[in-house]
Amino acid sequence: MSPDHTSRSARVPSATAERGPAVRPPAPPASPAPAATPASPASPGRMLGAALLGFFLITLDASVVNVALPAMGDDLHGGLSALQWVVDGYTLAFAALMLSTGALSDRIGAGRAFGGGVLVFALSSLACGLAPGLTVLIVARVVQGTAAAVMLPSSLALVRQAYADPVRRTRAISVWATGGSTAVALGPVVGGVLTTAWDWRSIFYVNLPFAVVTLALARGARGERRPAPLDVPGQVTAVLALSALTFAVIEGGTGGWIAAGVAVAAGAAFVVAETRHPHPVVPLGLFRGAAFSASVASGAALSVGFFGMFFVLGLYFQQVRGESALTAGLMFLPMTLLISTVNVLSGRVTNRFGPRLPMVVGQLVMAAGLLALLPVGRHTPTLAVAFLMVPLGVGGALAVPALTASVMGAVPAERAGLAAGVLNAARQVAGALSVALFGSLVAGAHFMPGLRESLLVAAGLVLAAAAATAVALRPRD
């Protein structure tokens, strides 16, 4: 379910110095011209390669962890709630901070932001691999998510500034997007292979050579620095509200109720901050448009169905069925292999019929897939479960490009980057909260009833979003 991210564009700096007048009397003798001009270290191809690898890395780390969670728990002696934080620590930092990192990239330059993000991502990956306990691992995952939030908008900004021609830029962005689709498809398999062949720590060590290559490709990349206002109150209250809400869902008990109260207070403070700040991270006026609101809600619901079930089914294969990490990873392969192909199909259908048809059909396909998994038990044939999961990937892959196009079409062109940031933040937050909720439902000795409750919750949300889409995007007379 490849995300379609958009960021602010930057002017492409001229590759050569500006020439003087053709005649300059009196003129000195012309000096010999050099035989050849050395290639720029920040050539478009290299910038695209760096951006693609960066997108691949941050998406891989969002999916590779799921099948390694049981091994982490056994090695570090942690329960399910701690393992939920291993997933959500990364996702929450990624989602919440992505609201402001586009402005940060503008302020310091896309090249600097991207290079710094990759370096921090690599160091935090090393810290994850060396973690002596779950507390250190969770903190390192939060730092990883922070770095990923910086890398994402700056990687796309590098692509946009490298290709001045709109046609070439569109093709380059399509290539860039394949990094995310490929990582989603390979994540569970890579996680299963590395965990089985070595151990869970290797899923973080594998990031290091990719990061080195990414930094080498990005060497010399620059970006225009321009003033970009930061909404510090809005960003701080957003992080506090989302973190407290996730804590409340995962931990429960008295501490959970206190955290829920903090989440409500921080959420109210966020709304006040956004209504008063001249440059809010989330302009609340965007949600007055029915098409925009329905599309963002659809993106969030699809993330619940996809990423939430990704987490729970990874545990199901290993903890309930007793499969190895490798087998668990391979079980996701039929679902993820079709994502890139269906993404392309969705684009064509959207261009011909508009976003409403692929969005509604995609959500209905995912909901049908979620409901089809309800009869699955401990002894259901393994291949049958793997193929019953296929509609989850197909439905999401059909709907997400269309809903992204719907969001882009619902706002003025100058707000496209901001709208895309809101959409993708909503999707990441929904994924994090679904991991928190579904993990709580399957905790303890009631895994299978909790799995079925999770399927019903996800299917209900996706069906509600489909109905909202059908109404909000209906043709106007």
- Per-residue pLDDT tens digits for 170-196: 677 767 777 777 888 788 888 999 998
| Residue 188 and residue 327 in contact, taking contact as beta carbons nearer than 8 Å | no
Q: Which of 16-25, 91-100, 174-183 has the lowest mean pLDDT?
A: 16-25
Q: Which of 33-37, 102-106, 161-165, 329-333 has the lowest mean pLDDT?
A: 33-37
Assign domain 285-477 to its CATH architecture. Up-down Bundle (1.20)
Higher model confidence: residue 89 or residue 104? 89
- Per-residue pLDDT tens digits for 25-66: 444 444 443 333 333 446 888 888 898 899 899 988 888 898
Write the CB contacts of 435 (distance below 8 Å, at least 6 apart in sequence).
84, 87, 88, 91, 307, 308, 311
Residue 387 has pLDDT above 80, yes or no: yes
| Residue 259 and residue 245 in contact, taking contact as beta carbons nearer than 8 Å | yes
- Per-residue pLDDT tens digits for 202-218: 999 999 999 999 999 88
Alpha carbons 137 and 204: distance in angstroms, whole number: 11
- CATH topology match: 41-226 vs 285-477: yes
The beta-carbon contacts of 275-278 under 8 Å, at least 24 apart in sequence, are 277/231, 277/233, 277/234, 278/229
| Residue 385 and residue 376 in contact, taking contact as beta carbons nearer than 8 Å | yes
- Per-residue pLDDT tens digits for 393-413: 899 889 988 888 888 778 776
- Per-residue pLDDT tens digits for 215-228: 998 887 665 666 66
Listed by start position, the domains of the chain span 41-226, 231-278, 285-477
Alpha carbons 411 and 288: distance in angstroms, whole number: 11
Give percent of the chain with pLDDT exceeding 70: 87
Q: Which 3-state string (H, E, C) describes the chain?
A: CCCCCCCCCCCCCCCCCCCCCCCCCCCCCCCCCCCCCCCCCCCHHHHHHHHHHHHHHHHHHHHCCHHHHHHHHHHHCCCHHHHHHHHHHHHHHHHHHHHHHHHHHHHHCHHHHHHHHHHHHHHHHHHHHHCCCHHHHHHHHHHHHHHHHHHHHHHHHHHHHHCCCHHHHHHHHHHHHHHHHHHHHHHHHHHHHHHHHCCCCHHHHCHHHHHHHHHHHHCCCCCCCCCCCCCHHHHHHHHHHHHHHHHHHHHCHHHHHHHHHHHHHHHHHHHHHHHHCCCCCCCHHHHHCHHHHHHHHHHHHHHHHHHHHHHHHHHHHHHHCCCCHHHHHHHCHHHHHCHHHHHHHHHHHHHHHCCHHHHHHHHHHHHHHHHHCCCCCCCCCHHHHHHHCHHHHHHHHHHHHHHHHHHHHCCCHHHHHHHHHHHHHHHHHHHHHHHHHHHHHHCCCCHHHHHHHHHHHHHHHHHHHHHHHHHHCCCCC
Residue 197 has pLDDT above 80, yes or no: yes
Closest by alpha carbon to 252, among 119, 394, 444, 402? 444
| Confidence (pLDDT) at 225 | 63
120: which 2 tokens? 């921090």
Q: Name the amino acid, one letter, at 241.
A: A
- Per-residue pLDDT tens digits for 256-267: 889 889 999 999
Alpha carbons 288 and 49: distance in angstroms, whole number: 39
pTM summary value: 0.78
Alpha carbons 463 and 450: distance in angstroms, whole number: 20
Alpha carbons 322 and 317: distance in angstroms, whole number: 6
Closest by alpha carbon to 128, among 115, 119, 113, 141? 141
Q: What is the mean pLDDT of the chain?
A: 83
Alpha carbons 158 and 42: distance in angstroms, whole number: 10
Closest by alpha carbon to 140, among 122, 127, 150, 154? 127
Closest by alpha carbon to 295, among 223, 359, 348, 361? 359
HSE of 459, CA atoms in CB hemisphere, 13 A: 16
Write the CB contacts of 36 (distance below 8 Å, at least 6 apart in sequence).
none
Q: Name the amino acid, one letter, at 171.
A: R
Top CATH class, 41-226: mainly alpha
295: which 2 tokens? 């599309």
- Rounded mean pLDDT, 338-358: 84
Burial class (CB in 10 A: 0-12, 13-18, 19+), 199: middle
- Per-residue pLDDT tens digits for 124-179: 999 999 999 999 999 999 999 999 988 888 887 787 777 777 777 767 776 777 77
